[in-house]
Structure 1
Amino acid sequence: MKKTIYLSLAVMASLHAEELLEDISITEEGTTQVVKNISGEQLKSADLAEALYKNVPSVNIIRRSGIANDILLRGQKRDNINVTIDGAKVYGACPNRMDPPTSHVVTHAIEDVVVQEGPFDVEEFGVLSGSVKVKTKKPSKEVHGDLSLNAGSFDYKKASGTISGGSDKVRFLFSASTEEGGQYKDGNGRDFSEQLNDYTASTAAAGDDNFVYSTANQGKEAFQKNMYMGKVFVDLTPNQELQLSYTANRSDNVLYPSTPMDALYDDSDIFNLQYNLKNLSAYSKELNIQAYNSKVEHPMSTKFRNAGQVKYMTHALTTEATGLKVKNAVDALGQNITYGVDGSKRNWDGGYNITTVATGAVQNTRKSINDVETQNLGLFVKSKKELGKLSLEVGARYDDTSVQTATAKNN
């Protein structure tokens, strides 16, 4: 199947306003909100969705577990919201949104988040309802570090730390965090297991009893999550900078009582390379070249339920995104003009298998997502002009997108 996605135009006028909320500052500019200091100590949870929900009025969440909650932006959800981490596109592998894009970065590693409402971001592919741009911490040449220990309700525990330093030419940063939490309870004091037991007891379908948590998994921890991020920035010349970064997220045994399966693990790896050149000529105030690759593995299973005590089913899913973007900015005609090209390729694959508990034997049964590949090539241009406290932005983007499955490719 081949799709050509139309030319889109965006015109936005905005007035500046600023609001300070304790240690977190929220700056509003028209339909865009910038949330800074999001890694502040008052945010006990590492869940980015939770942090945005508490601080951005237009953001709500779908709470399905103790972590990895999904966001709604002005009522819109799923892939209608474009999420990037330092410019890299990250997709969840689960079709049921157990691992939304915002779950692949933790608040401890974040510098600020730009939330833009509406289809005004012409620099990114697929921005139909809004965008969330996550910017992680940058290394500094001064040697410094921080260590944080947090604890909260429902056996929540978190430890995180960052160290950064370097010289005028080379700077590095390493950040890590670990957290775990128990099953949160409802207003009646019932945890996940008890809520699910009460629900299945109230339904007429006898088969629902298969999806309650097994005796051995009653009261099981709701999740465990570890994050590691490393960055190296190199100043090649006074006006050329090379940025390299790698982020790894490892979540284990995430419980989802509202669905028949839980996540055995959610693993993601994000590789990012950026090359920035400034003041090359009168025609280039700043040239940015970026390449990235993100991979996500997400197997969800009935292993912890009554249905999985003899044999359990696993729905194993993977997704990988690779992208390249080149953009140039120039001051001309009394305004800032940015134009460029970007391309991306996403692969999404998944299938079911059954594991026999006694022997450990695994049998593959059927495909669920048959090696789907989405390729996109986009051209964009935008202009921004400052008129006192008024900012006027005009932009346009053209996308050409193709989607193919393994069946179509083989034929």
Structure 2
Amino acid sequence: MQMVAGGALAEEGAPASRAERVVNLDTLVVTGVAPVASLTWVTDPRLPRQPVPASDGADYLKTVPGFATLRSGGTNGDPVLRGQFGSRLNLLAGDGALMGACPSRMDNAMSYVSPETYDRLTIVKGPQTVLWGGGASAGTVRFEREIPYFDQPGLRLDGSLLAGSHGRNDQVLNAAAGNPRAYARLTASRSEADDYRDGGGARVPSAWEKWNADAAIGWTPDPDTVLEASLGGGDGEARYAGRGMDGAQFERTSYGLRFEKKAIGGALDGIAANVYYNDVDHVMDNYTLRDPDPAGMMPMPMASNVAHRTTGGRVALEWRGEGWDLTTGVDARRSRHAQRSAMGRGQYLAQPWSVDARFRQVGAFAELHWHLAGRRHLIGGLRVDRAEAEDLRRTSGGMMPMPNPSFGQVRSETLPSAFVRFEQDAAGKPLRWYAGIGHTQRMPDYWELFSPNRGPDGAANAFAGLRPERTTQLDVGLRYAGKRVDAWVSAYAGRMQDYIAFDYMDAMTGATTRARNADADIRGGEAGVEWRVAEHWKLGGTLAYSWGELADAGQALPQMPPLESRLSASFDNKRWSAGALLRLVAAQDRVSPSLGNVVGRDLGPSGGFAVFSLNAGYRLSDHLRLAAGIDNLFDRDYSEHLNLAGNSAFGYPADPVRIHEPGRTAWVKLNASF
């Protein structure tokens, strides 16, 4: 387990100081994460986890109750929080927005994130913060890198090596050198795996190879000031059993500049500012990692090249007074999407780029933490965004292109967001309860405006017809942090007005999907407990449930994850550790096969399953830690409910068949820190 220094009931509303960093409590293998504050989760993504350590950001998020992943093979699944997808989940890497480019989200933002190259993962569930962007009705996810301050000249090295079944091998390096005035940092990772075999012994097309590298230099004139410049890049390829094309290129280029000044000494206590540039260049084809399917919809070699460039920045001022903390600021973002494609191997390279969409956003925010008398806290925030989208497609209509009636049009929306939450600590007890209500409005994103073949009835297309989505949600919860027992429970209920739904139409009409607005109701919750039964022994468990339906039709929302529980037991005497994890997933029969999202649709009911895994660890020294595990010990043949149908190019039948998960998988990991 990890926590924020200062106690299990630390106050997340106050600006974080350098002392409030993730503290590693000697955990060797992470099997689950508990909240460190109301609706806030913090963990160290460098620690080994079970199932086998993640190759992408979405996979690592599954450690947190309430998260799931829409699977399509071995890597680059799409993250889901409480049954919500896409830009309802605000995803940030290094405090900058990073967006994929594929119209079907083959390369969602988490595809470009190597979790172990970051120092901290912070999650806020629900619309309960306004600091990091608007429209995040599901929550906010931040992969963060800390400033490597040096009190004296020195060198720090962290790294890991991983080997596992199905040809899995990873290498990670984090290196920093500096003195009290300056530092340099390098983070790099490489991950590779072959096709895996499921519990039934069938080979699943799922191989990948990817790498990432980022470097930064910083100037620290005093312990409370830093100016940092950074650059980074990455690339990779991945086979997808559930898609008609594979990812032949995942190229990323990133630049950043940030400035921080803390402990100023007056009412203005701190300043944080950053600017960033993120550019992804993604190639999809049906010939690099497979052979074209002569009986399929793409019998000839073809490729599509898409790119998404995002630039932006943020300035935040931290104010502190007697009994209150306030953060105010502004942020802005611009993005440009372009594409090109061609038949024939490599022929797309001779085609010119066509910019089909531009987006602009600017926002102002303020978030206050008021420390009331009697161990009471009031946290609230207000945000206003101005968002614009420009349609630059000359044609639309998918397989039957026609002149685009909205070519050159610009949509502008003013989008307010706000929340208020009350928290109270029980007198003399390690207990806190909270209740909060939040409202956020979200501009339809690129995938909702440009991917559907049709828009709402009467609209020229989705760009012209889709309205912004408005979510109002109540969140309540309770946390207890005792000497031997930690327990927590959270619940939510919300109304999503103008929820953006995708109808999957009959292919004979020539239109694959239609995007429209409809009101929806959502509710659910998560709970967890950790019991230290003896000095070195610990038992734990979590439970997560999500539910949703279209309010008027009474139809189940699609792609809702089923009820899930995780039960764990562990032993740790500070030298040796051992653990067991039982993952229990219920059947899901609340489905809507005609509905979906930009990634896919419901494939029908799914069966439940149970997967049992073991892990062990040994601290070789203060600098070396060895961990090993066996996932799916009993070689269970199963598939996740959130899934894509197997593609016919790999021999899957025409009737939708879910992609099955890896069978028995063994892995061993060595972590080093100097």
Give TM-score scaled by structure 1 length: 0.80
The question of whether the paired residues in 1 share the 8 Å contact of 2:247 and 2:285 is answered with yes
Asked if residue 79 in structure 1 is aligned to residue 91 in structure 2, the reply is: no
- Per the alignment, residue 68 of structure 2 pairs with 60
SS at match of 1:75: coil
Q: Greater CA deviation, 94-103 or 284-293?
A: 94-103
Asked if residue 381 in structure 1 is aligned to residue 370 in structure 2, the reply is: no
Query: Where in structure 1 are there 5+ consecutive unaligned residues?
Result: 1-13, 194-220
- Aligned ranges 1:28-177 → 2 under 5 Å: 28-35=36-43, 37-42=44-49, 44-53=53-62, 55-125=63-133, 126-141=135-150, 142-177=154-189
Partners of 1:33 and 1:389 in 2: how far apart?
Answer: 22
The question of whether the paired residues in 2 share the 8 Å contact of 1:16 and 1:390 is answered with no
Partners of 1:143 and 1:366 in 2: how far apart?
Answer: 47
SS at match of 1:123: coil
Q: Tell me which amino acid in the other structure corresponds to 1:385.
A: W
Q: Tell me which amino acid in the other structure corresponds to 1:230.
A: A
Deviation at 1:346, TM superposition (A): 1.1
- Aligned ranges 1:130-279 → 2 under 5 Å: 130-141=139-150, 142-193=154-205, 222-252=207-237, 254-279=238-263
Q: Do the aligned partners of residues 249 and 259 (structure 1) sit closer, same or farther apart at CA in structure 2, a change above 3 Å counting?
A: same
> As a proportion of its length, which structure holds more helix?
1
**Identity level (%):** 22
Partners of 1:71 and 1:410 in 2: how far apart?
Answer: 31
The question of whether the paired residues in 1 share the 8 Å contact of 2:305 and 2:348 is answered with no
Deviation at 1:409, TM superposition (A): 4.4
- Aligned ranges 1:392-407 → 2 under 5 Å: 392-406=378-392
Partners of 1:152 and 1:396 in 2: how far apart?
Answer: 47
Q: Tell me which amino acid in the other structure corresponds to 1:39.
A: R
Partners of 1:285 and 1:269 in 2: how far apart?
Answer: 34
The question of whether the paired residues in 2 share the 8 Å contact of 1:32 and 1:117 is answered with yes
Q: Do the aligned partners of residues 364 and 307 (structure 1) sit closer, same or farther apart at CA in structure 2, a change above 3 Å counting?
A: farther
- Per the alignment, residue 295 of structure 1 pairs with 279
Q: Tell me which amino acid in the other structure corresponds to 1:287.
A: I
Asked if residue 340 in structure 1 is aligned to residue 329 in structure 2, the reply is: yes
Partners of 2:246 and 2:280 in 1: how far apart?
Answer: 16
Partners of 1:20 and 1:97 in 2: how far apart?
Answer: 36
SS at match of 1:143: strand
Q: Tell me which amino acid in the other structure corresponds to 1:255.
A: R
Q: Greater CA deviation, 241-250 or 294-303?
A: 241-250
Q: Do the aligned partners of residues 392 and 365 (structure 1) sit closer, same or farther apart at CA in structure 2, a change above 3 Å counting?
A: same
The question of whether the paired residues in 2 share the 8 Å contact of 1:19 and 1:27 is answered with no
- Per the alignment, residue 325 of structure 1 pairs with 314
The question of whether the paired residues in 1 share the 8 Å contact of 2:248 and 2:284 is answered with yes
Q: Do the aligned partners of residues 361 and 269 (structure 1) sit closer, same or farther apart at CA in structure 2, a change above 3 Å counting?
A: closer
Deviation at 1:15, TM superposition (A): 5.9
Partners of 1:63 and 1:276 in 2: how far apart?
Answer: 39
Deviation at 1:366, TM superposition (A): 10
- Per the alignment, residue 212 of structure 1 pairs with none
Partners of 1:328 and 1:89 in 2: how far apart?
Answer: 20
The question of whether the paired residues in 1 share the 8 Å contact of 2:304 and 2:348 is answered with no
The question of whether the paired residues in 1 share the 8 Å contact of 2:225 and 2:262 is answered with yes
Q: Do the aligned partners of residues 134 and 331 (structure 1) sit closer, same or farther apart at CA in structure 2, a change above 3 Å counting?
A: same
Q: Do the aligned partners of residues 70 and 310 (structure 1) sit closer, same or farther apart at CA in structure 2, a change above 3 Å counting?
A: closer
Q: Do the aligned partners of residues 72 and 271 (structure 1) sit closer, same or farther apart at CA in structure 2, a change above 3 Å counting?
A: same
Q: Greater CA deviation, 393-402 or 382-391?
A: 382-391
- Per the alignment, residue 214 of structure 1 pairs with none
SS at match of 2:60: helix
Deviation at 1:148, TM superposition (A): 2.0
Give TM-score scaled by structure 2 length: 0.50
Partners of 1:146 and 1:76 in 2: how far apart?
Answer: 35
- Aligned ranges 1:359-374 → 2 under 5 Å: 361-362=347-348, 370-374=355-359
Partners of 1:91 and 1:165 in 2: how far apart?
Answer: 31
Deviations 1:64-105 (A, max 9, x none): 122212211111111110001121011111122211212212
- Per the alignment, residue 570 of structure 2 pairs with none
The question of whether the paired residues in 1 share the 8 Å contact of 2:174 and 2:187 is answered with yes
Count of residues in Structure 1 that have an aligned counterpart in Structure 2 = 364
SS at match of 2:69: strand
The question of whether the paired residues in 2 share the 8 Å contact of 1:44 and 1:151 is answered with no
The question of whether the paired residues in 2 share the 8 Å contact of 1:385 and 1:392 is answered with yes
Partners of 1:362 and 1:249 in 2: how far apart?
Answer: 21
The question of whether the paired residues in 1 share the 8 Å contact of 2:115 and 2:143 is answered with no
Deviations 1:168-226 (A, max 9, x none): 00011112111210112222111125xxxxxxxxxxxxxxxxxxxxxxxxxxx711011
Q: Greater CA deviation, 240-249 or 286-295?
A: 240-249
The question of whether the paired residues in 2 share the 8 Å contact of 1:340 and 1:379 is answered with yes
> As a proportion of its length, which structure holds more strand?
1
Q: Do the aligned partners of residues 238 and 363 (structure 1) sit closer, same or farther apart at CA in structure 2, a change above 3 Å counting?
A: closer
Q: Tell me which amino acid in the other structure corresponds to 2:167.
A: D
Partners of 1:361 and 1:342 in 2: how far apart?
Answer: 40
Q: Do the aligned partners of residues 389 and 98 (structure 1) sit closer, same or farther apart at CA in structure 2, a change above 3 Å counting?
A: farther
Deviation at 1:310, TM superposition (A): 8.3
Larger radius of gyration: 2
Deviations 1:271-322 (A, max 9, x none): 2211112344634210112101111111111112333898411121100111
Deviation at 1:258, TM superposition (A): 0.8
Partners of 1:290 and 1:74 in 2: how far apart?
Answer: 30
Q: Do the aligned partners of residues 390 and 314 (structure 1) sit closer, same or farther apart at CA in structure 2, a change above 3 Å counting?
A: farther
Deviation at 1:364, TM superposition (A): 7.3
Which structure would you say has the larger RCO, counting Cα contacts within 8 Å and 6 or more residues apart?
A: 1
Partners of 1:288 and 1:19 in 2: how far apart?
Answer: 26
Deviation at 1:161, TM superposition (A): 1.7
Q: Do the aligned partners of residues 390 and 258 (structure 1) sit closer, same or farther apart at CA in structure 2, a change above 3 Å counting?
A: farther
Partners of 1:386 and 1:134 in 2: how far apart?
Answer: 28
SS at match of 2:215: strand
Q: Tell me which amino acid in the other structure corresponds to 2:225.
A: Q
Partners of 1:300 and 1:225 in 2: how far apart?
Answer: 15
Superposed CA RMSD in Å reads 2.9
Q: Tell me which amino acid in the other structure corresponds to 2:53.
A: K
